[in-house]
Amino acid sequence: MDWESWQCSWDRQQELYLPDREERFRVMLDVLAAVAGQAPRVLDLACGTGSISRRLFARLPEANSVAVDMDPTLLAIARGSFDGDARITFVTADLSEPGWMERLPDETFDAVLTATALHWMKCEPLARLYSDLAKLVRPGGVFVNADHMPEPENPMLTAVDEVIQIRHQQRARAMGAQDWEQWWAAVAHDPGLADEYAASRAIFEKHRGGEERPIGWHRVRLQEAGFLETGVAWRSINDAMVVAIR
C-alpha cells in the first residue's frame, strides 16, 4: 500500500476547504514550542491520518505523540505511514464516550492539539470532553483547537467568506483536487482498504450531525472545565484557533 500517496491526497482534499491549513498548523506549533520546548509530549486528538503529528515531528523531531481517533480508514493510513516510528502511539477511541480516557497511557501531556475535528461533536459531549482534557493537560500546558467557529452575528462577513471559499475551491478543483465525497469514493475502490471503509461508513451513520459553535462558546466551556486562561491565536472569517492554558 502506498500510504504516502494517501496522505498527500488527504492533504489536498482538506486544503480544498481550508486554504490556510498550513498556516494554522504553523501557528499551532509556534504555541506548542513556546509552551513546551523542543521535546513535548503531545496528545493528537481526533488525529485522522496523523496530519498534526507529521508536522509536529518535522518541526520538533524530539517530540512524542499519542494519536487518538475512531475512524478505521484514517487510522489505517496513519499507522501505515508512521510504521516503525517509535515516537508515536495510536489509540482507537470514541471521544464522545465518557470512558474514552481509559484507553490512554496513564500520564499527563504538555499539550493536546486538534484541528478540524471537534465540530463533528454535539455540545454536551464536547463540553464533557473539555472537562476530560483539563485532567490530561499538565499545569501550565495547553489545549489548542483549530476548527470551524463561525460567528452568527456576522452574516455579511460569512457571505464574503463563502465567495472566497467558492473561488478557492474552483481553482483547486481545476488543479485536480478531490472533494470529501470524491476522496471517500477513491477509498471505496481500493481493495486494500475495503474492511476499513465499511467500518468507517458505519461510524459516519452513527455520528451524523455535529454542531459548529462560535469562539465564545468554546472559551466559556474551557474555563468551566478548569482551564485558567483562553484566547484566540489565529483566525479567519469563519475559522479560528482557540488556545486554553491549564
Q: Measured between alpha carbons, how far is 34 from 223 in angstroms, rounded to an integer?
A: 21
Per-residue pLDDT in tens (0 to 9) along the chain, 246 residues: 899 999 999 999 999 999 999 999 999 999 999 999 999 999 999 999 999 999 999 999 999 999 999 999 999 999 999 999 999 999 999 999 999 999 999 889 999 999 999 999 999 999 999 999 999 999 999 999 999 999 999 999 999 999 999 999 999 999 999 999 999 999 999 999 999 999 999 887 776 777 899 999 999 999 999 999 999 999 999 999 999 999
Q: How many angstroms separate the CA atoms of 9 and 7, rounded?
A: 6
- Predicted TM-score (pTM) of the model is 0.95
Distance CA 128, CA 114 (A): 16
User: What is the spatial distance between Cα 104 and Cα 89, in angstroms, rounded to a whole number?
Assistant: 10
The C-alpha atoms of residue 221 and residue 208 are separated, in whole angstroms, by: 22
| C-alpha pair distances (Å), 152 with each of 158, 212, 213, 216 | 8, 10, 9, 11
- Domain with residues 3-245, CATH architecture: 3-Layer(aba) Sandwich (3.40)
